[in-house]
């Protein structure tokens, strides 16, 4: 289920302002501390959150929230401080405990506010670290191991014979059908795969290789044989079912 929320926007030379629905208040983005009363300001410097305050503070970018009169700015500031501290964005010795009544109102307001800040690029949660890309190292012992591709659309025997040379043995079956995007267009990977095939067009007939073909990487092998779309380090298996990833990954 999709919930639509209409937020009015105003852009001037001094600010970008959002009027929240149901008279919940306004959010301003400015480069100087705004002259808004009864408001809470998130202060950013160097791309990082440095303060949450109701008083004028130095910074480079200011996200100022002026809630409706029903919501006390001091309670909103406490809740935002608690949220930022819980996510490791700020440290504070200030008591962030809220009375039960205001706590419910503030929580409801944050449920509307935080997604807006997220969409604007001002996260109130730490960015998730991307897992490090696996590194693989060629070794001479690996060069003699036959790795096999065994898919419904492609079968092949492959050797990682040199650091920058992957050998696809003659007789390999290549996927014939080019995968398309949802809109019917040909994606980047498929276009690159087709370029590889064009470069070796004299070495296959009816999608079966007639000569050995040398490519530069495991990824190129996957693109050439079956247009990629999966982790080819896990597709190439030796006679015992051990992947080329298991053989060569740097731990």
In this structure, are 113 and 144 located in the same domain? no
**Residue-wise pLDDT tens digits, 195-217:** 999 999 999 999 999 999 999 99
Count CB-CB contacts under 10 A for residue 144: 9
In this structure, are 149 and 47 located in the same domain? no
Give the pLDDT score at 41.
92
pLDDT level of residue 3 (50, 70, 90 thresholds): very low
**Residue-wise pLDDT tens digits, 160-198:** 999 999 999 999 999 999 988 888 888 888 899 999 999
- Does residue 126 form part of some domain? no
Look at residue 4 and tell me whether its pLDDT is greater than 50: no
Which residues are CB-neighbours of 100 under 8 A, at least 6 positions away?
none
Look at residue 159 and tell me whether its pLDDT is greater than 60: yes
Give the pLDDT score at 93.
67
In this structure, are 147 and 232 located in the same domain? yes
Number of domains in the chain: 2
**Residue-wise pLDDT tens digits, 60-69:** 999 999 998 8
Which residues are CB-neighbours of 40 under 8 A, at least 6 positions away?
52, 53, 54, 64, 65, 66, 67, 73, 76, 77, 80
In this structure, are 139 and 245 located in the same domain? yes
- Does residue 128 form part of some domain? no
User: What pTM was estimated for this model as a whole?
Assistant: 0.51
- Does residue 150 form part of some domain? yes
Owning domain of residue 99:
8-120
Instruction: Report, as an integer, the average pLDDT of 39-63.
Output: 89
In this structure, are 239 and 142 located in the same domain? yes
Give the pLDDT score at 10.
83
Give, as one character, the DSSP assignment of residue 141: G
- Does residue 3 form part of some domain? no
- Does residue 125 form part of some domain? no
In this structure, are 147 and 170 located in the same domain? yes
Look at residue 123 and tell me whether its pLDDT is greater than 70: no
In this structure, are 36 and 81 located in the same domain? yes
Q: Tell which of 85, 120, 155 closes a domain.
A: 120
In this structure, are 39 and 99 located in the same domain? yes
- Does residue 241 form part of some domain? yes
Q: Rounded CA gap, 44 and 92, in Å? A: 16
In this structure, of 27-41, 80-94, 163-177, the range with the lowest mean pLDDT score is 80-94
Sign of the dihedral defined by the CA atoms of residues 203, 206, 209, 215, in that order: positive
* Contact (Cβ atoms closer than 8 angstroms) between residue 229 and residue 235: no
Q: Tell which of 120, 147, 173 closes a domain.
A: 120
Query: DSSP per residue over 219-232, as a string?
Result: HHHHHHHH---S-H
- Does residue 1 form part of some domain? no
CA proximity to 223, closest of 186, 183, 170, 184: 186
In this structure, are 15 and 116 located in the same domain? yes
């Amino acid at each position: 289920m999709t919930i639509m929320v209409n937020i009015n926007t105003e852009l001037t030379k001094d600010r970008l302002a959002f009027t929240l629905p149901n008279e919940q208040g306004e959010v301003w983005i400015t480069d100087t501390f705004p002259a808004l009363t009864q408001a809470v300001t998130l202060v950013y410097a160097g791309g990082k959150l440095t303060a949450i305050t109701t008083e004028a503070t130095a910074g480079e970018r200011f996200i100022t929230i002026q809630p409706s009169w029903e919501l006390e700015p001091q309670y909103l500031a406490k809740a935002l401080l608690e949220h930022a501290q819980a996510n490791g964005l700020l440290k504070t010795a200030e008591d962030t405990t809220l009375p039960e009544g205001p706590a419910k109102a503030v929580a409801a307001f944050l449920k509307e506010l935080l997604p807006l800040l997220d969409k604007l690029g001002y996260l109130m949660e730490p960015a998730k670290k991307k897992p490090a890309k696996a590194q693989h190292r060629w070794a001479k012992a690996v060069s003699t191991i036959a790795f096999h591709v065994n898919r419904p659309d492609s079968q092949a025997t492959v050797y990682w014979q040199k650091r920058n040379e992957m050998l696809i043995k003659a007789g390999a079956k290549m996927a014939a059908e080019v995968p398309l995007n949802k809109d019917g267009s040909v994606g980047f990977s498929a276009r690159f795969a087709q370029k590889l095939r064009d470069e070796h067009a004299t070495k296959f007939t009816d999608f079966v290789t007639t000569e050995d073909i040398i490519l530069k990487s495991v990824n190129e092998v996957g693109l050439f044989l079956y247009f990629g779309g999966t982790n080819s380090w896990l597709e190439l298996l030796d006679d015992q079912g051990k992947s080329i990833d298991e053989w060569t990954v740097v731990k």
